[in-house]
Structure 1
Amino acid sequence: MTSLSTGFRALPLPIIQLSLAAVLKCGQSFRWTAYPLKLDPEDASSPTHEYRFCLRDRVVCLRQTATNILYRTVQPDPQPNANQRELRDAETLLWLKDYFQLDVDLAFLYEEWGSRDKVFLGIQDRFSGIRMLRQDPWENLISFICSSNNNISRITKMVQSLSKEYSPPLLSLPTPDGSGVEDTYHPFPPPSALTHPDVSARLRSLGFGYRAEFIHRTAKMLVETHGDSIQPQDSDEPSEQWLRTLRDISTEDARAELLKFVGVGRKVADCVLLMSLDKTDVVPVDTHVHQIAIKHYGMKGSTKGKMNMTPKLYEELCTKFVQVWGQYAGWAHSVLFTSDLKSFALHGLLEPTSPLPSPVKNRKKRSREMTDLVRILPTPPSTPSVSESATATEIACNLSPAERVKKRIRK
């Protein structure tokens, strides 16, 4: 990691392992805000966008080059001292490692999928760097209740409206274009904030339609069953903590728990299982995915009309995709799904060609590269003490604030 004059730190990571432009726009998460940056005509490798995301206690700002993820942490305290800045950036690095699941070698998965599937082989270079996020299960659950009969643009508007309406502002930041305009950032509201009797009516007035009642009743059921005891502002409620425990049980049992909530059918449950509960082989199926299966994978049906998605057909589609792609079938499905979105029709075609590294074919070389990457990322030691001269990684792994963040993001 190296400090940059702009206040960003650099995490070495080739774009074939993570493409922010694709991953943050393909319908996984809906609260990232993208800001175009002024391009340097003399530097074709300079970042084109800045991406911002509001956590409970900070705003994370990201930029990307062909070889690095650039990150910056902003919290309400306007003037942290040097040790506080080191700690904050180290905590953010822990979160980035978890959120983007950087312990998974995506180039290796692409190579495996391409060797098993000619369809994937045909798109993998153009749609490289698409990996599955490891999201907060509560936000993920509500976001995909909003996704019912909806599109990415409208889901994004709903999720952001929900945050502005039911979560107090954390801080305001100038936009990175130098215009002097400030944007205000709100964390995602906790379950207890959506249990009040007037929530459903208010959400309907904001354009949520029938989903308003689903959100209200799901939040209420979650809190009534698993608690909403008073927590520090930057801590999770017991009901949120309970949702994360679903990572530790079987896919079938976790799905059964999710299906108890109002507005959660098989597809929404499977989205949550895949995108926040570590069930990598789960493939969320809808008519769009069914059309892909008919067009490319020999499944029966018509590409001209919608077929009734029966439980039997759903299971047949899931089984087919797992047979094709294996243990990480859900991840591979996300790449195919993204490649078929209209908003990605020109992705990789009109962008300037840059000297990006190709997927590593030599497995020993790839293994060494990923080992070097893991060395860069923080791995918590068992020792509890830390000196004043400790590095940022050591601070993040030992002091209590980082332990709190670590406990929050990975059960």
Structure 2
Amino acid sequence: MSWNKLCNKQDLQLLGTLSGGQSFRWKYNEDLKEWRGVFFKTAWKLRENEKSIEYDVIGSLLQTGRKRNNKGDITNETYFKKVLDNYFRLDCNLNEYYKEWSEKDELFKSACKQFYGIRMLNQEPVENLFSFICSQNNHISRISSMVEKLCENYGEKICNYEDTTYYAFPDVEKLAPEEVDKALRNLGFGYRAKFIQKSAAQILEWGGEKWFETLKEMKYKDAKQELIKLCGIGPKVADCICLMSLNHLESLPVDTHVYQIAAQNYLPHLRGKKSVTDKMYTEIGDHFRQLFGDKAGWAHTILFCADLKKFQTNTETEEKPKRKKKK
């Protein structure tokens, strides 16, 4: 296997993009200074050097365009680079976006100096949807564990590599049978087991993965309402799916953390509320859509990362975004 250049270092920040709560299948190897993860039925490695981001393919189930050299290694650089370009939306000029958003908002202008290269992942809708069903009332380490259980029990094996077996995320057909509910409860999924099985059955009834393509073609709010028809999908999870896998980049999932950012820095009349009502949810989303435009969800993801304490001690620069103190 060999490392290949993906992009310049400033165009993609791996830390904020891969561990900011968008996807749950990336892990950082501190000893090797590299990220390992799975998407698109392929296991990957990513690392950064002084100038660029590099990638390597651990193993893949994809057949189209795949080649192997005389050592059995996967070598089709062009094909896999296109997959990564699409996943990280590298065709989008992030410098232009950052410039536009900085001109509209002083807080963003401060935050983006440290949190450069935060990409909105273009994920596969099936994995994205079921991963965020697992995310409900949960923390990241447990969500990651649940997602891996889904892959190990219902996904196709990709390869073994350095004592780790990598699995693809299961196709929706694998999660739809009624017995999946009980099996997932036995694996510790709790009430989410029903949501996963019932939603998978609904998706199959409505056309399978082709149904997601129709959602991409809809207007954002219409696509969101269709998603909410699924068992166990509320407004926040629907917004996550719209934003992260259906190209509705104006979508903005509002959780407690997003509410706190909005209340402390943009909408002071919302401070001190005990919970986020439907009216508040809409007001917060509309405010950022008016401020940042049709990619408001992406812009706010940078503010979200800047506000996470775990990133404030791990980034390379010492400059911190200015935050207002809570009263």
Normalization by structure 1: what TM-score?
0.71
Task: Output aligned runs, 1:119-268, within 5 Å.
Answer: 119-174=107-162, 182-226=163-207, 239-268=208-237
Distance 2:209 2:125 in 1: 8
Q: What is the CA distance between 1:67 and its match in structure 2?
A: 2.3
**Residue 55 of structure 1, aligned match among 40, 45, 48:** 40
Aligned to 1:89: 77
Aligned to 2:56: 72
- One-letter amino acid of the structure 2 residue matched with residue 331 of structure 1: W
Aligned to 1:374: none
**Residue 311 of structure 2, aligned match among 329, 344, 347:** 344
SS where residue 8 of structure 2 aligns?
A: coil
Distance 1:97 1:23 in 2: 14
Distance 1:155 1:36 in 2: 21
- One-letter amino acid of the structure 1 residue matched with residue 278 of structure 2: P
**Residue 333 of structure 1, aligned match among 290, 297, 300:** 300
Q: What is the CA distance between 1:50 and its match in structure 2?
A: 3.2
Q: What is the CA distance between 1:75 and its match in structure 2?
A: 3.3
Distance 1:162 1:343 in 2: 27
Distance 2:81 2:136 in 1: 33
Q: Percent identity?
A: 39
Distance 1:130 1:66 in 2: 18
Q: RMSD of the alignment, in Å?
A: 2.3
Distance 1:343 1:128 in 2: 16
Residues 157-213 of structure 1 show CA distances to partners (whole Å, capped at 9, x for unaligned) of 111111111113221012xxxxxxx11000000111112222112212222221111
SS where residue 261 of structure 1 aligns?
A: coil
Q: What is the CA distance between 1:263 and its match in structure 2?
A: 0.8
Aligned length: 313
Residues 211-251 of structure 1 show CA distances to partners (whole Å, capped at 9, x for unaligned) of 1110010011111332xxxxxxxxxxxx1232133212211
SS where residue 103 of structure 1 aligns?
A: coil
Question: Is contact 1:16-1:107 (8 Å) kept?
Answer: no
Distance 1:122 1:306 in 2: 29
Distance 2:204 2:188 in 1: 24
Q: What is the CA distance between 1:143 and its match in structure 2?
A: 0.9
Question: Is contact 1:72-1:89 (8 Å) kept?
Answer: no
- One-letter amino acid of the structure 1 residue matched with residue 16 of structure 2: A
Aligned to 2:96: 108
Residues 9-47 of structure 1 show CA distances to partners (whole Å, capped at 9, x for unaligned) of 113x23332111211100001112322244xxxxxxxxx
Provide closer, same or farther for how the CA distance between residues 301 and 252 of structure 1 changes in structure 2, counting only shifts above 3 A: closer
Question: Is contact 2:203-2:211 (8 Å) kept?
Answer: no
Q: Give the unaligned 5+ runs of structure 1.
A: 1-5, 39-47, 175-181, 227-238, 354-411
SS where residue 104 of structure 1 aligns?
A: coil
Distance 2:101 2:139 in 1: 28
Q: Give the unaligned 5+ runs of structure 2.
A: 62-66, 319-327
Provide closer, same or farther for how the CA distance between residues 53 and 300 of structure 1 changes in structure 2, counting only shifts above 3 A: same
Distance 1:318 1:221 in 2: 28
- One-letter amino acid of the structure 2 residue matched with residue 172 of structure 1: N
Normalization by structure 2: what TM-score?
0.88
Question: Is contact 1:127-1:347 (8 Å) kept?
Answer: no
Provide closer, same or farther for how the CA distance between residues 72 and 191 of structure 1 changes in structure 2, counting only shifts above 3 A: same
SS where residue 243 of structure 1 aligns?
A: helix
**Residue 22 of structure 1, aligned match among 8, 12, 16:** 16
Structure ID, larger Rg: 1
- One-letter amino acid of the structure 2 residue matched with residue 92 of structure 1: F
Question: Is contact 1:163-1:188 (8 Å) kept?
Answer: yes
- One-letter amino acid of the structure 1 residue matched with residue 274 of structure 2: K
Task: Say whether residues 1:316 and 2:283 are aligned partners.
Answer: yes
Distance 2:155 2:298 in 1: 31
- One-letter amino acid of the structure 2 residue matched with residue 316 of structure 1: E
- One-letter amino acid of the structure 2 residue matched with residue 74 of structure 1: I
Residues 64-98 of structure 1 show CA distances to partners (whole Å, capped at 9, x for unaligned) of 22422211223369x9237x978632221110111
SS where residue 262 of structure 1 aligns?
A: coil
Provide closer, same or farther for how the CA distance between residues 141 and 207 of structure 1 changes in structure 2, counting only shifts above 3 A: same
Provide closer, same or farther for how the CA distance between residues 117 and 75 of structure 1 changes in structure 2, counting only shifts above 3 A: same
SS where residue 97 of structure 1 aligns?
A: helix
